[in-house]
Amino acid sequence: MPGRCPHILLLLALVAAVPAPAPAQGLTIAAASDLQSVMPIVADRFEQATGQTVTVTFGSSGNFFSQIQNGAPFDLFFSADIDYPRRLAADGLVEPGSITLYAIGRLVLWARRASTLDVARGLQTLLDPRVRRVAIANPETAPYGRAAVAALRHAGLYDRVRPKLVLGENVAQAAQFVDSGNADAGLIAESLALDPRLRDRGVSHEIPAGDYPPIEQAAAIVQASSRKPAARAFLAFLRTPAIVRLMQTYGFTAGAAVDGAR
């Protein structure tokens, strides 16, 4: 096929090995909630390119980790960190060699535009007396929540801000708390701040990457999946230039490490 992009040739070769499933047997993906803006676009483009149907469920990475441990029937797990896939791999619950670092996430301070808060002051903004509630994802189950706590500790503000914290089940719910007025500001994923549904309603300030551990977001194929060829094709699709560029527009730095290799 002269003129074909090597990435597309690889994808077509992978897809050729995938049986054409009925819609009810399409690829099922458990995805971290910071992907809720971009993953539907990726899934739609994959469906158009391959004819494979895709169903995506969004939630906290920790909850999906527990569900997969208990046999939840997902084919792919897109975590907001690399630790959960590694722990599943240690238990033999993901396909060996399938862990892929697909992106580096970014943490931002976000507030409603109408609040007139000067988020350019960074985390010091949270000491403003107008800020009574600060939304973050639950650090027990959500990597972005752990990153938020780490950033507050790095700034020496955690003890002062802690009484204001309200916890979302996941980072998308933390963003919703701010957007609805149930919190005055939040530490959320940049991908959500760039979501067209939120972008025009809020203002954001990126937290320096050195202020919290890297948010290395990794995907893995669930060992119990019966659709591993389609799952491998989806991971290959993520590495095509068009999808890499798409992810970047939603605040994700591209990642390509496999099984934790750096």
| 67-87 residue pLDDT tens | 999 999 999 999 999 999 999
Percentage of the chain modeled with pLDDT above 70: 87
Radius of gyration of the chain (CA): 19
Which comes out higher in pLDDT, residue 258 or 21? Answer: 258
Residue with the bigger pLDDT between 18 and 121: it is 121
In the prediction, which pLDDT does 21 show?
39
Predicted pLDDT of residue 217: 95
Lowest mean pLDDT among 153-162, 178-187, 189-198, 201-210: 189-198
The CATH code of domain 6-104+215-254 reads: 3.40.190.10
pLDDT at 101 over 70: yes
Residues 68, 213: Cα–Cα separation, whole Å: 25
Residue 261 makes CB contacts below 8 A (sequence gap 6+) with none
- 107-206 homologous superfamily: Periplasmic binding protein-like II (3.40.190.10)
Mean pLDDT of 158-183: 96
Q: Is the pLDDT of residue 259 over 70?
A: no
Residues 230-236: what's their mean pLDDT? 96
pLDDT of residue 260: 41
Q: Side chain identity at 37, as an amino acid letter?
A: S
Question: CATH 3.40.190.10 spans which residues of the chain?
Answer: 6-104+215-254, 107-206
pLDDT in tens, 42-55: 999 999 999 999 99
Per-residue confidence (pLDDT) for residue 25, from 0 to 100: 62
Dihedral sign computed on CA atoms, order 162, 168, 171, 174: negative
**H-helix or E-strand spanning residue 7:** helix 6-16
Residue 2 has pLDDT above 60, yes or no: no
